[in-house]
Amino acid sequence: MIEVTNLHKRFGAVTAVEDVSFRAEDGVVTGLLGPNGAGKTTTLRMLYTLIRPDRGSAKIDGLEVAERPLEVRRSIGVLPDARGLYPRLTAREHVRYAGALHGLSGATLDKRIDELVELLEMKDIADRRTEGFSQGERMKVALARALVHGPRNVLLDEPTNGLDVMSTRAVRTLIRRLREQGHCVVFSSHVMQEVGALCDRIVVVARGRVVADGTPDELRARTGKDSLEEAFVTVIGSDQGLMQ
């Protein structure tokens, strides 16, 4: 479970996150929706401990991220904004490295890697070097790496960015499965259809603030619009950045 209260972060003269608060429950998919530059990535980076908030608090499973970064990192699986791979290592070696850094080893690790290879349907690429992988294949490796330690909380930054239809479907299936297993899933997107198709709860972020928070139905009801798209345009005050 993730609780964010009044997060604030500025870089020099630029305020990236003004005031963000939301809650993401276990067994629920929470979508952070907002135009580019709204502060989604910075918010996630504060959650996954790589940026220290200036103000406010972020707790994951009750642990304050800024105070217990190592423990927090153990309880989260992250697909960060940067998801680069090592071109000279195979897909399996990527997952193995991440597992080893989480303290896994031996048969436990091997078994876990096989599970992920199965889950993400990457049997035919598992033992190939990642140089020359397609976007979809790279995404699978990055996801397997993020989930190797079986984290309770999963943070995904724009997980379907740049993917074709098949790969997007695979990612959606994975997110639904994680929800069924009771994980807390937070993902960010600037694509409204994406969020509408997957999320139980939507947090709309614009200019560093939360401008709306609720289920898709609540959002439609609140804005008095029939379509989600209209609802978003209404809450963020412009349609900038929402269109693909």
Q: Which residues bind other proteins (CB under 8 A)?
A: 45, 48-52, 70-71, 73-74, 76, 78, 80-89, 93, 97-98, 100-103, 105, 142, 145-146
One-character DSSP codes across 119-133: HTT-TTTTTSBSTT-
Nearer to other proteins, 33 or 72 (CB): 72
Of 84 and 224, nearer to other proteins (C-beta) is 84
CB of 69 to other proteins, least distance (A): 8
Contact call for residues 60 and 28 (beta carbons, < 8 A): no
- 52 or 169: CB nearest other proteins: 52
Report, in Å, the least distance between residue 105 CB and other proteins: 7
Helix (H) or strand (E) holding 228: helix 228-236
Q: Which residue, 83 or 179, is less far from other proteins as judged by CB?
A: 83
- Nearest distance in Å: CB 75, other proteins: 9
Supply the minimum distance, in Å, between the C-beta of residue 232 and other proteins: 28
Query: What is d(CA 213, CA 232) in angstroms, rounded to the nearest whole number?
Result: 11
Contact residues for 170 (Cβ-Cβ < 8 A; gap 6+): 120, 121, 136, 140
Rounded CA-CA distance 200/180 in Å is 12
